[in-house]
Amino acid sequence: ILRGSEARPHLKPYMASLQLDGQHVCGGFLIAPQWVLSAAHCIEETDGKLFQVLLGAHSLTEPEPHKRLYQVRAQFPHPGSNIHNNKDDLLLLQLEEKAELNSDVRVLPFQREDRDVAADTVCEVAGWGTTDHSGSRPDRLQQVERPVISRDVCNHRTRHDGTITHEMMCTDSRRKDTCKGDSGGPLVCGGVAEGVVTAGSRVCGNYKKPAIYTRIAPYAAWIDGVMASADG
């Protein structure tokens, strides 16, 4: 998160850190007791290893009352996701067991109505991603508020030039922005997850390249289907 601020500890109890060998790779969030939603690009360099999911955390390193690292039983990248573009950039992770829900670990509802969030709506996004252009990595969860920009503005040829589909949305990236390591985290508007930070490589903090999110509503049926099939 560029030019944001430290989140109030444990006030975003849905936040997850996807880790490999104890290292934060991407964000994610709890959508059900045994399920975390993130971005498919995040598995590109895991060469088949499963993530571990840290829940209940504010600091990535300090001991905290409800902090717990969960093993992942299975990972389900959206079948349409690929390394060449940002399409269908969603990843579902089934935890080895149901997360223990408490004041620091909570499910976040996601939008099921497929309707664009109005431009200028101010949403919030959080993560343990880079906080400056030298690539500093924070220990504690950061957050920032960003206004939604319309798909037409985001698709302008000087911005993302027509690559933003109906299944994507954008927020203004002038100065304050998401950045590497924030991908997979939720864009929260009015207390509901509307988008997932895309994980394709992207310049951060440049107003000419707005932040891109995968809208969640268009994928509600896919999400429900995977959870139902895997839960048995």
The residue written with tokens 């349409």 in the block is 80
Q: Which residues pair with 195 in a beta bridge?
A: 187, 215
φ/ψ (deg, to 5) at 99: -65, 145
Yes or no: say if 145 and 3 are a contact pair by the CB < 8 Å rule. Answer: no
CA-closest candidate to residue 28, choices 94, 97, 80: 94
The nearer residue to ligand QJS, 182 or 194, going by C-beta atoms, is: 182
- Annotated active-site residue in 17, 24, 89, 182: 89
Say which residues have a Cβ less than 8 Å from residue 47's Cβ, sequence separation at least 6: none
183 is an active site residue: yes
The least CB distance from residue 24 to ligand QJS, in Å, is: 4
- Annotated active-site residue in 10, 24, 41, 78: 41
The nearer residue to ligand QJS, 75 or 130, going by C-beta atoms, is: 130
The nearer residue to ligand QJS, 10 or 24, going by C-beta atoms, is: 24
Buried b (16+ CB within 10 A) or exposed e, 67-100: beebebeebbbbeebeeeebbbbbbbbbbeeebe
The least CB distance from residue 195 to ligand QJS, in Å, is: 14
The least CB distance from residue 146 to ligand QJS, in Å, is: 16
Q: Which residues pair with 32 in a beta bridge?
A: 35
The least CB distance from residue 231 to ligand QJS, in Å, is: 28
Q: How far apart are CA 86 and CA 106, in angstroms?
A: 28
The nearer residue to ligand QJS, 34 or 125, going by C-beta atoms, is: 125
Could you list the residues that contact ligand QJS (CB under 6 A)?
24-26, 41-42, 44-45, 128-130, 137, 180-181, 183, 199
List, by residue number, the catalytic residues.
41, 89, 183
